[in-house]
Amino acid sequence: MWSLAWPWALLALPLPWLARRLLPEARDQSAAGLRVPSLAGFETLRDRSGAEKMRNWRFWVALLAWCLLVLAAARPERIGDELEVPVAGRNLMLAVDLSGSMDQKDFELAGRKVDRLTATKAVASDFITRREGDRIGLILFGERAYLQVPLTFDRETVKVLLLEAEIGLAGEKTAIGDAITLAVRRVHERGEDAGDQVLVLLTDGANTAGEVPPLKAAELAQQLGLRIYTIGIGAESMNVTSLLGGRRAINPSADLDEDTLTAIAGQTGGRYFRATDTASLQDIYALLDDLEPVEEPEAGFRPVKSYFFWPLGAAFALVGVLCVTVLLQRVRLGGRTRVQAHAS
């Protein structure tokens, strides 16, 4: 959409006409002290009627230059479509366990039995989609912790790389402390620009590998203001077939260290959640949306681009043409004067 930043400047358009109407005319200087033959050519110009002067192309060029100059003073501008202002959301890291125990098929998804990692991928992907405005990062851990995706606004990339993760990719054991330490290191590297930092750590076991104890890593996270939400995943009961052919119930989450996960969350200002099935896992991520709400976008703005320089440049070009024309005419008149003086 086109508009004028200073439309009141258009009030200057009739100034030349007002000056012609209101100011007194210049006195007649025809009674010169000397009669110069070369001035004879101006007699016809002086005797022209006002209508003839109006038809003079220089008049119209000067008028156009004045209009362009006034238009430039009004500052024409183009207003673009409304854009949303990017919000400074949270820096949200997801740490997902890829140890061998995540292969346990004690979850259901769309009516079929699936392993814990498959259920996690489905629910966490929806969670990532909802986190518009946040920077999302992805840490995958087993025996070692790996930064799969650094903090980014590109949620689609995070989702794709999460869905491509495979059990055992980072080893068969679980290094919870190393995963937290890696997230702490990323917070430390960002320094004062870290902002609001959140880590969502999902695991189905206890810390069985790594170099840093989980509680020591949680202490480091607390010092840097990293808030950790821990999720313990795994069914509480599962029926299996015994060697004798009978059915018996077992606890597939016997190795889950809930005390440590609770302590980590409590020490850093987060919470511990227990996911025993797909529905409860979905509820946990929905609750995380409530605990760490997405920032609402601020009022949008319309980008404005000014174009005053185009009419201003055109006005200067027209004035330049007039000046060159006058100079050329004077040169021609000067040549005629010298010729007439020589002839006389």
Q: How much is the pLDDT for 268?
A: 94
Q: How much is the pLDDT for 229?
A: 95
The pLDDT of 276-301, averaged and rounded, is 78
Q: How much is the pLDDT for 255?
A: 84
Residue 184 domain boundaries: 85-239+248-299
Show the tokens assigned to 101.
């125990």
Q: How much is the pLDDT for 260?
A: 94
Residue 28 maps to a domain: no
Both 335 and 316 in one domain: the answer is yes
Report whether 161 contacts 177 (CB < 8 A). no
Q: How much is the pLDDT for 344?
A: 59
Burial class (CB in 10 A: 0-12, 13-18, 19+), 66: middle
Higher pLDDT, 239 or 36: 239
Is 111 strand, coil or helix?
coil
Both 198 and 112 in one domain: the answer is yes
Written as one string, the DSSP assignment of 279-333 is HHHHHHHHHHHHHSPPPPPEEEE--EEE-THHHHHHHHHHHHHHHHHHHHHHHHH
Indicate the number of domains in the chain. Answer: 2
Pick from 282, 299, 316: which residue ends a domain? 299
Choose among 261, 270, 320: nearest CA to 291.
270
% residues pLDDT > 70 (the chain)? 78
Q: What is the DSSP code (8-state) at residue 12?
A: G
Find all residues with CB under 8 Å of 199, minimum gap 6, and list them: 92, 93, 94, 95, 180, 183, 221, 226, 227, 228, 229, 270
Please check the confidence at residue 51 and state whether its pLDDT lies above 70: no
Q: How much is the pLDDT for 42?
A: 45
Written as one string, the DSSP assignment of 37-95 is GGGHHHHHHHT--HHHHHT-HHHHHHHHHHHHHHHHHT-EEEE---EEEPP---EEEEE
pLDDT in tens, 148-204: 999 998 999 999 999 999 998 888 899 999 999 999 998 888 765 556 789 999 998
Q: Angle at CA 149, nearest 5°, toward 145 and 150? A: 95
Residue 166 maps to a domain: yes
- The chain-wide mean pLDDT, for the chain, equals 81
- How confident is residue 325, by pLDDT bands cut at 50, 70 and 90? confident
Both 9 and 90 in one domain: the answer is no
**Helix 155-163 / helix 116-130 crossing angle, nearest 10 deg:** 180
Both 168 and 106 in one domain: the answer is yes
Residue 89 maps to a domain: yes
Report whether 247 contacts 240 (CB < 8 A). yes
Both 115 and 257 in one domain: the answer is yes
- Indicate which CATH number applies to the domain containing 152: 3.40.50.410
Please check the confidence at residue 29 and state whether its pLDDT lies above 70: no
- How confident is residue 304, by pLDDT bands cut at 50, 70 and 90? confident
pTM above the 0.75 mark? no
Both 205 and 193 in one domain: the answer is yes
Q: How many residues does the chain have?
A: 344
- How confident is residue 141, by pLDDT bands cut at 50, 70 and 90? very high
Higher pLDDT, 187 or 223: 223
Both 118 and 256 in one domain: the answer is yes
Residue 191 maps to a domain: yes
% residues pLDDT > 90 (the chain)? 35
Q: How much is the pLDDT for 295?
A: 59
Residue 155 maps to a domain: yes
Report whether 205 contacts 256 (CB < 8 A). yes
- Highest mean predicted confidence (pLDDT) among 45-54, 83-92, 109-118: 109-118
Q: How far apart are CA 267 and CA 167, in angstroms?
A: 29
The pLDDT of 112-122, averaged and rounded, is 92
Residue 29 maps to a domain: no
Find all residues with CB under 8 Å of 26, minimum gap 6, and list them: none
Residue 73 maps to a domain: yes
Both 65 and 148 in one domain: the answer is no
Higher pLDDT, 270 or 250: 270
Both 207 and 275 in one domain: the answer is yes
Residue 26 maps to a domain: no
Report whether 330 contacts 88 (CB < 8 A). no
Both 53 and 127 in one domain: the answer is no
